[in-house]
Structure 1
Amino acid sequence: MKKVYTISEAADILGKSKETLRRWDKSGKLCAVREPMSNYRVYKKEQLMIFDEFEQSYKREVKEIQPTDNYTVLELFAGAGGLAIGLEQAGLKCVALNELDHWAAETLRVNRPNWNVIEGDIRNLSFSHLRNKVDVVTGGFPCQAFSYAGKKLGLQDARGTLFYEFARVVQETSPAICIGENVRGLLNHDSGRTLKGMISILDEIGYRVLEPKILKAIYYNVPQKRERLILVGVRKDITVDFEYPQSNNKIYTLKDALKKGELFNCDVPDSAGSKYPISKQNILDLVPAGGYWRDLPLELQKKYMQKSFYLGGGKTGIARRISWDEPCLTLTCSPAQKQTERCHPEETRPFTVREYARIQTFPDDWRFTGAVNQQYKQIGNAVPVNLAKAIGISIVNFLNEKKMSDTHTHAEVMQA
């Protein structure tokens, strides 16, 4: 267990906002201390142990559950396979995967020749032949606004959006459960109306929707501060409840991702990667591990940030060098953009493709196709594999309980 926690980490664990913790700090209720080396304000483990939330977050363990049947999945918007690998590791079988991007689809085919990869625009595809033949439909559909003003939204009102296609396929195939995943921003997209519309549509086509939940990847064996919103619909004729995955008892760091240890049995393999322009490299040479643009001399801060220097806000992703002993910030589709720099802790360069993949917990033997920028894009868009596995275990548990419930119901009918 870690000995110190940043304000952001403590806020996540305690379920409080960073602003609340800062107020507690000022009032003396919970005072942060400064680390001698970095001068960052942190909390000691002993300070947080008085909170039940802290104790509970480290007592939970994700238990492996074996499927009691051959459960099947249809995956939409499959990308490069992060979600599919995790579901596979949990014991689920992908019977078909749809992906529009050619290089992502090629990545799926290269790694799993036995998978039925359907490359093409979902708007031109029908999956009615899989009706009652898949247990789960998953999809990381893009976030698009609806014309929604508080009325009950129906499926036809969402035409033209990719969520419509997701819901259409769910209606065509009638799985026991459907799982949608998206960025955290969907929660407040269009003042929450987009998400309300999605829930309304799933309700219309026969699915009761659980309260959407944001899963923080760092609590599911992922060395990265990534968040995904999960939307779960259970077919209304099913009485079994789905339970979101429980968080585990350890937070992994960048060192765990790139070095031999609990997550991987060897150091990260060498691979291709982007480079910084000389001008940016000269700037990042001055940033310490765990630091960002505010660690530069004042005149360089102004020069590098330009007008943004005067706009306020942390902008902690700019000129950011990740340290070995912290989880990585959320990876993006490009490792060298100014707003989302993710610099190696020791070398002044972006993470390589294989380092990117490690941070997303892809297996080392999972190959990515296309040019280097295409590979970064595929990895940056993916669901972390270990987070997907945790979701998959929850799905397996749900389907096992459903099967048991169906068996009992059938037995009672036979006895009547």
Structure 2
Amino acid sequence: MTSSDAVAPFLENPYILDLFAGPGGLDVAAHMLDVISLGIEWDKDACETRYKAGLQTWHADVSDVRRKRFHELPEELNVLAGGPPCQTYSVAGNGAGRKALDKVEKLIHRLVAGASEQEIDEQLEKLGGDPRTALVLEPLRYAIKALSCPNRNRRPFDVIVLEQVPAVKALWKVYKNALETGLPREDGTRVRYKVAEVKTLHTEAYGVPQTRRRTILIARLDEHGTPPLPAPTHHTYNPHKPKQGGPEDEQAVAQATQTTLLMGGAVAPPRPWVSMGEVLAPTTQRPEGRETPFEVVSNYGSGGDPKKRGVRTDVQPSFTVTGKVSRNAVRYQDGTPHYPDRLTIPEAGILQTFPPNYPWSGGDRSQQVGNAVPPLFGVHVLAAALSLPLPPEEKLRENWPEAGDEDRATLRKVGCGAPDDCGPNCPKPEDQSSPSASSDSSRPRTGASAKRSVK
């Protein structure tokens, strides 16, 4: 792995607050960088995975924590990260968020102008529609809340890292302007940030064996200087030129090198993108791996035709891993079924760059995997944000240290308020039931629980 032109770290003890933490993608990334993190996650299934993985977790609603329990958060938290639920903004979702972009943008301006929480909540009530749309405001509301919290000595977060689907790029640009203008303190002064260019990045350009686009925002307090974007390390996959090697790669190398220069990274020739076959092949750690050759048939239509399924071979990166990943068929190139004939949960996790033995737990594991941040991508983003050197990629292929019963009980007691079950601060069980597939207004409150798929 190549360093993102890292300099000496400027935070002595980075401590990440991960909003909408899901099953732990960003937390695994933090672990690889030897950075501690605390995740807030609404979905009980994702929390089961997190506890088993030994991750600090509050099983709670992000909005409720901001309103009622913000003062209980560890005062040492100095990095705010979050990937708000993307379903209402994603092209695969119901589109409510995309339709409300201009209204949400106005609310960002109101927050920066000093509007009260009550005023913003009233405006959100008028907004109506899918309640997940409003969650994109939560990171900004947390950043502003920190400035009035006595338990933190009204200290701002030093770093803010956000990621979302490309459809939210316009809102991240509004966020950028808001952070550069300055967040309001109670005394009328402002706390200003320096923000990197808001950019949509391809995860396969960072070694993830999957084509997935995410728009990121990285901000640092003014005193820490402008953060860089992570420099790409691999080729971007071109579906129109699906094979690597040959004359067309010369142009790809030149373009990737130029992108690296523009991002302020070290000039190193990009490596080939990583294929499914490379990471799913049998290993000493995972002898049950999948033998090549094989191809994966997407559950989604291609080229606007819902009946025309896209196909990727084992020498190509995977399609975007979604909550319906277990529906993707796996077969030999002559059309006969491969064994197993569906991608397994561990395989889907590996395509997301989770460790091969990551302890997926709870229900609806496909949805947990599909909505997670790819840890390897998270490593690159956090390393750039915090000016940390990148660890060896091999660390993500090592066995994950699963938490024992006693450690899980301790984590659950802190995160749920009880060592063996949900407590008073957890979302109510009836609020966590699987929504109807036809409902556009159901209330899943995190990326890990929204629009559940059939297992």
TMscore range, shorter length: 0.5 to 0.7
Residue 179 of structure 1 aligns to a residue whose secondary structure is: strand
CA distance in 2, matches of 1:169, 1:75: 11
1:372-383 superposed matches below 5 A: 374-383=364-373
Post-superposition Cα deviations, 1:4-23, rounded to whole Å, max 9, x if no partner, equal: xxxxxxxxxxxxxxxxxxxx
Task: Select which of 5, 11, 18 maps to 1:75.
Answer: 18
Find the aligned partners of 1:387 and 1:321 in 2 and give their Cα distance: 24
The letter for the 1-side match of 2:207 is: N
Distance 1:354 1:254 in 2: 13
Residue 245 of structure 1 corresponds to: 230
Change (3 A) 1:315 1:81: farther
Q: Is the 8 A contact 1:361 1:385 kept in 2?
A: yes
Amino acid at match of 1:179: V
Q: How does 1:126-275 map to 2 (within 5 A)?
A: 126-130=69-73, 133-143=76-86, 144=97, 145-146=100-101, 147=103, 153-155=109-111, 156=115, 159=121, 160=124, 161-173=134-146, 174-187=156-169, 192=170, 194-202=171-179, 203-205=181-183, 206=191, 207-236=193-222, 238-248=223-233, 249-250=270-271, 251-260=273-282, 266-267=285-286, 269=288
Q: CA deviation at 1:358?
A: 0.8
Residue identity in the other structure for 1:176: D
Q: Find 2:322's aligned residue among 313, 316, 332.
A: 332
| Counterpart contact for 2:196–2:228, Cα < 8 Å | no
Pair 367,221 (structure 1): closer, same or farther in 2 beyond 3 Å: same
Give the drift of 1:129: 4.5
Partners of 1:222 and 1:107 lie apart in 2 by 22
Question: Which whole-Å deviations, capped at 9, do the CAs of 1:123-176 have from their partners, x for residues lacking one?
Answer: 111333447622211000135435157797122476441133221222233211
User: Aligned residue for 1:8?
Assistant: none
Which of the residues 375, 378, 392 maps onto 1:385? 375
Q: Does 1:116 align with 2:56?
A: yes
User: Amino acid of the residue matched to residue 71 of structure 1?
Assistant: P
Q: Tell me, what secondary structure is at the counterpart of 2:312?
A: coil
Instruction: Say if 1:117 and 1:385 are closer, same or farther in 2 by CA, change over 3 A.
Output: same
Per the alignment, residue 369 of structure 1 pairs with 361
Q: Give the TM-score taking structure 2 as reference length.
A: 0.56
Contact conserved, 1:99 with 1:105, CA < 8 A, in 2? Answer: yes
CA distance in 1 between partners of 2:16 and 2:278 (Å): 31
Aligned letter for 1:106? E
Residue type at the aligned position of 1:171: I
The alpha-carbon deviation at position 204 of structure 1 amounts to 4.4
- Matches of 1:170 and 1:324, distance apart in 2: 43
AA partner of residue 153 (structure 1): H
Q: CA deviation at 1:70?
A: 2.5
Give 1:77's aligned amino acid.
F
Query: Is the Cα contact below 8 Å between 2:158 and 2:221 reproduced in 1?
Result: yes
**1:365, distance to aligned residue in structure 2 (A):** 2.4
Give the match's secondary structure for 1:211: coil
Letter in 2 for 1:165: E
Shift of 1:196: 4.4
Amino acid at match of 2:158: A
**CA offset at residue 318 of structure 1?**
4.3
Secondary structure of the residue aligned to 1:231 is strand
Percent identity over paired residues: 23
Contact 2:354–2:374 under 8 Å retained in 1: yes
Unaligned runs of 5+ in 2: 87-96, 125-133, 147-155, 184-190, 234-269, 390-455
Counterpart of 1:133 in structure 2: which amino acid?
E
Amino acid at match of 1:154: R
> How far, CA to CA, are the matches of 2:308 and 2:217 in structure 1?
31
Give unmatched runs, 5+ long, in structure 1: 1-58, 272-287, 294-303, 400-416
SS of alignment partner, residue 325 of structure 2:
coil
Task: Give the 3 Å change call, closer, same or farther, for CA 211–317 of structure 1 in structure 2.
Answer: farther
Name the counterpart of 2:28: 85
Amino acid at match of 2:39: L
Q: Is the 8 A contact 2:206 2:380 kept in 1?
A: yes
CA distance in 2, matches of 1:240, 1:398: 15
User: Per the alignment, in what secondary structure is the counterpart of residue 342 of structure 2?
Assistant: coil
Residues 334 and 376 in structure 1, CA contact (< 8 A), matched pair in contact too: yes
Structure 2 CA distance for aligned equivalents of residues 130 and 100 of structure 1 = 16
What are the superposed Cα offsets for residues 292-330 of structure 1, whole Å, 9 maximum, x if unpaired? 69xxxxxxxxxx99xx9xxx9455994333211000111
Aligned equivalents of 1:186, 1:268: Cα separation in 2: 41
Q: Secondary structure at the match of 2:310?
A: coil
Amino acid across the alignment from 1:209: V
SS at match of 1:154: helix
CA distance in 1, matches of 2:304, 2:57: 42
Tell me which residue corresponds to 1:34: none
Q: 1:270-309 maps to which residues of 2 (within 5 A)?
A: none
Shift of 1:343: 3.5
AA of the residue aligned to 1:326: Q
TM-score calculated relative to the size of structure 1: 0.61
2:346–2:358 contact (8 Å) kept in structure 1: no
Distance in 1 (alpha carbons) for counterparts of 2:58 and 2:196:
29
Which residue in the other structure is 1:354 paired with?
346
Does structure 2 retain, via aligned residues, the 8 Å contact 1:240–1:398?
Answer: no
